[in-house]
Chains A and B, each alone.
Chain A
Amino acid sequence: MKANFFANMKISRKLVAVFLATSVIAMCVNIFIYLNLNQALEKINTVFSSNISFNELSDSLNKTHQGLTGFLETKGTDDFELYYASSLDVKNISRSLNSNVADNSIKLSERDIRNMLDTYLKTADEAVTAKRGRKIDEYTAKYEECTRIKDYLNTYIYSVNNEQFRTNSETYMALVNSLRYTEIMSMLIFAVASVMNVLLIVILTSTITRPLTRLSAKADEISQGSPENVEPLEVYSDDEVGKVTRAFNEMLASIKDYIARIRTQLITQSEMKEKNLLMETHLKDAQLKYLQSQINPHFLFNTLNAGAQLAMMEGADRTVEYIRNMADFFRYNVKKSSETVKLSEEIELVDSYMYILNVRYAGEMLFEKDIDESLLNVMVPSMIIQPLVENSIKYGIKDLEPGEGKVTLSVYREDKMCCIRVSDNGIGTDEEIIEKIMNHEKKPSETRGVGITNVMSRLDLYYNNKEVFEMKSRKNEGTHVTIKIPLEDTNV
């Protein structure tokens, strides 16, 4: 829970937390050591306090005696005040001295000093009282006693002070030595705490930098190619790095998706290219077959033009008409063989073709048209009607009696389709053959001229295998071939 809380913190806060944690630890250790060291130093400072106290006692005692001497000499108020104030100091200081019997020379001397001070003050008081009573002998004796005791006291204080100083010096040295150990100890604690802080910083900052390292490693992986094989990163935190990681994962997913789409597109494109190539192949094939079956159309076209001009000079109008039609027919072939053309142009070609045939067969072929003129501008692949008409004549009505055979071309609209139907009243086509043709089993070589199969294949390619070609027939009732061109595809 705590780890999650830390993981979800912002990086700036994390860094502040790390800094604060280590600083607080260092500060606490510092304060602790400082306070204790201070305490130790205070203890060292008190070592010589007993010496100071003894010096004060000696000073106060001498002042008391000075005051006493002065008072006994002159009975002066100042002297008495000095005596009184100093004796109070002596009393106060003596209270802090040991009063018990102990087997310690200093303690014992303190007790002796305390009791001697008591005796001194008592004797001094008696001397003062005797002075007030003007008992010269008594206060003189008491004063002498006081002087003696003062000398004893000074000797004792001096000796104890010396002894105390020696002991205190030893204690001081012991304390100073101990202080050195404490210094070493504090240095060790500092060192350990510092190492701990450094490790703490390493751990905490690594929790911040580790996700970044992982992120950069993933980025490297992606940059080396094949991002589709790169797995998304696990997100452990909700900080900035966590957000970046999440965004990175989303970007990775997007890249993968994009690559997949591009791949599909490429496949589609290559399929389309393949289709186009195939179409061109078929068209070329049709053209080749056409050219094989025909004399060079240019040469023929020029020849025909020369023939037309000759006929015109001779005044043979029908010949002129005939030759022009032939010229149109071949021109069309030369010009439009590789384009989409208007339906009207296709119809004109059929007209020319039929005229030529009727001249050839002396008007035996009947040709009817039923055209919806709104559809004349519909764009269709070239050379799709003439081959059908040719087929109808060649395999349908060719063998009928002259004047009986009839080919009908209808163009009409049906369910958003432009329907082009070529029908004849010929002998009809066997169902077997129709099936073969529809299943593309009949080879182009088995047909003569630009065959129906070629038309079908091209329509299939052009209209993307949509069922646009229909062929129906009954024995001796003719054949109906219908091309249904979807009106939305006509502009393709």
Chain B
Amino acid sequence: MKVSKVKVSRNRLAVSILAGIVLVLFCVTVAGLIYYRGMIKRLGEVQEEAHAEYSRLYAYIADDPDSQLSNRIYKEIVDYAKENDCYVEMTGQNLSTSYSKADRLNIAICSKVDGIILEADSSVETAELINKANDAGIPVVTVLSDCSESQRKSFVGLNNYDLGSEYGNELAKIREEKRAYPLKALILLDKDEGNSDDMIFSGLNEALKGRNIVLTSSGVDTSTPFTSEEDVMNILDQLDKQGQIPDVIICPNDRISESVYQCIVDKNLVGKTRILAYYDSETILKAIEKGSVYATFAIEANIVAKQCVNALNEYNNTGLVSEYFTSKYIMISKSNISSYKPEVDKDEG
């Protein structure tokens, strides 16, 4: 009798343990199903990328969408615009076809943006398109180079005439350092008409008066990404053959600056000639550190960006805006590059 009672209690214990396990498994199953349901729900959420919305859209139309300077300015514009509840798109970017500036301007007008920031030129076509945008109620702000004949609302520019003067001053310093009388200088200008180079050239010429410096100029084709380097190489080859490598080469354009630097290195002319460059690209800054480039003139891109966005916002809000906003160039040479570098790292990085 005792044995059977012990057996019964053992059986009950076994059944209770099994029932407990079943209960636990039931809870695990239910929890698993709830988790599973959550998993399936989360599947749909992957599709939607997080994005912020803004009240206005501006188009940024660069002269050369691949230019580092334009991209730097665009980046600064976007950052600043976002802070002011606007968004700026680089029209024509990420498309399967590369459109001309005129087409990009047309696209911006057709897609009814709230304003256009344009790296303009003085061509008639550009002026007409600016006027068309104006007719469509889209304000246009020109940046870096102006189209004064058009109905653009404002110009955010750099004093290129002053930049020419600054180049002149630097040439004078080099002349003194090299004690070369006269100092032979070459300026490589963009072949495209109506850009800011003309103004720089005028300023430079004015600054060189009476300084015993001989300035020659050559045109470089920058219409495609590959031509500038070829043109520069051709020019230098020719000069090298003639034994007329200049003491200083002035490059008032970011792409030409990098092309010249590369050709000088390739032709082993470092030390024989000095480069006065334009724009603070990483390559140029490194070259300054090494001493391959004498100095460069950088733009305060954040200030330019602020002026562009503020000009459009002001016009859209009030219907009025100042016609000119100016910004200064910063000269970077081996003497001050250490204080400038951290900012470059941040930008380029």
Contact = CB atoms under 8 A, between A and B. Distances in A.
Interface of A: 29, 32-33, 36-37, 39-40, 43, 47, 100-105, 107-108, 111-113, 115-116, 118-120, 148-149, 152, 155-156, 158-159, 162-163, 167, 171, 174-175, 178-179, 181-182, 185-186, 188-189, 192-193, 195-196, 199-200, 202-203, 206-207, 210, 214, 231
Nearest to A119: B110
A101 B22 contact: no
B53 interface: yes
B56 to A, nearest CB: 6
Interface stretch (B88-96, B229-237, B332-340): B88-96
13 contacts: A43-B43, A47-B47, A101-B56, A112-B107, A115-B112, A116-B111, A159-B94, A178-B43, A182-B39, A193-B25, A200-B22, A206-B15, A210-B11
B15 A192 contact: no
Contacts, number: 135
B106 A43 contact: no
B114 to A, nearest CB: 8
A111 B51 CA distance: 14
Contacts of A174: 46
Contacts of A148: 103, 106
A185 B18 contact: no
Interface in B70-114: 82, 86-87, 89, 94-97, 99, 103, 106-107, 110-112
Contacts of B53: 100-102
B87 A101 contact: yes
Contacts of B51: 102-104, 107
Question: Would you list the 5 A-B pairs with minimal beta carbon distance, nearest first?
Answer: A104-B51, A112-B111, A196-B25, A115-B112, A101-B57
Nearest to B42: A178
Contacts of A195: 25
Interface in B29-70: 29, 32-33, 35-37, 39-40, 42-44, 46-47, 49, 51-57
Contacts of B112: 115, 118-119
Contacts of B47: 43, 47, 171, 175
B40 A40 contact: yes
A279 to B, nearest CB: 48
Nearest to B33: A32
Given A43-B44, A107-B51, A189-B36, A29 B29 contact: yes
Contacts of B344: none
Contacts of B11: 206, 210
Interface residues of B, number: 47
A182 B19 CA distance: 29
B1 interface: yes
B64 to A, nearest CB: 19
B107 A199 contact: no
B13 interface: no
A202 B25 CA distance: 14
Nearest to A179: B43
B181 interface: no
A159 B1 CA distance: 88
B106 A115 contact: no
Contact of A196 (B22, B36, B56): B22
Nearest to A28: B33
Contact of A188 (B32, B54, B103): B32
Contacts of A116: 107, 110-111
B26 interface: yes
Contact of B110 (A40, A103, A152): A152
B18 A202 contact: yes
A183 to B, nearest CB: 11
A210 B54 CA distance: 74
A36 B29 contact: no
A64 to B, nearest CB: 15
A112 B97 CA distance: 16
Contacts of B33: 29, 32-33, 189
Contacts of B94: 105, 159, 163
A369 B1 CA distance: 74
B97 A203 contact: no
B38 to A, nearest CB: 10
